[in-house]
Amino acid sequence: MNAEAIDYGTLLEETKPEVIHGEPENRRLIEILERLTAQEHVTEAEEKLIALMTVLVENFENQNYPVLDVGPLDIIRHLMEEHNLRQKDLADVFGTESIVSDVLNGKRELNKEHIRRLSERFKVSPAVFF
Q: pLDDT tens for residues 9-57?
A: 999 999 999 999 999 999 999 999 999 999 999 999 999 999 999 999 9
In sequence order, the 6+-apart residues with CB closer than 8 A to the CB of 16 are none
Q: Which amino acid is at 25?
A: E
Question: What is the per-residue DSSP string for the chain?
Answer: ---TT--HHHHHHHH------SHHHHHHHHHHHHHHHHSSS--HHHHHHHHHHHHHHHHHHHHHSPPP---HHHHHHHHHHHTT--GGGGHHHHSSHHHHHHHHTTSS---HHHHHHHHHHHT--GGGG-
How do residues 89-118 score in pLDDT, each as one tens digit? 999 999 999 999 999 999 999 999 999 999
- pTM for this model (two decimals): 0.54
